[in-house]
Amino acid sequence: MPIVVDIDVMLARRKMSVGELADRVGITPANLAVLKNGRAKAVRFTTLAALCEVLECQPGDLLRWETGTPGETVDSGAASAGPGS
């Protein structure tokens, strides 16, 4: 996936554990691990905002875009901003 999540970098800078971050953000350690390991298909803006607040950073410090591998496509439905997103 061309979006890379750099939570590990911010955790190291803040000397914070995954468990502590999960507790302070209000998500399960398992869900944080999915996001941290690049397996998440989406992230709620409220979760991203909470991560930024706890880690005292900007969204761009946590997310970056990299060129995907040849043949990789972007799911056009993934950008939905409707109810439940």
- Global pTM? 0.77
Q: What is the DSSP string of the chain?
A: --EEE-HHHHHHHHT--HHHHHHHHTS-HHHHHHHHTT--S---HHHHHHHHHHHT--HHHHEEE-PPPTT----GGGG--STT-
C-alpha span between 29 and 31 (Å, rounded): 6
> Using one digit for the tens of pLDDT, what is the confidence trace for 24-83?
999 999 999 999 999 999 999 999 999 999 999 999 999 999 987 655 555 545 544 444
Is the distance from CB of 13 to CB of 19 less than 8 angstroms?
A: no
> Using one digit for the tens of pLDDT, what is the confidence trace for 23-34?
999 999 999 999
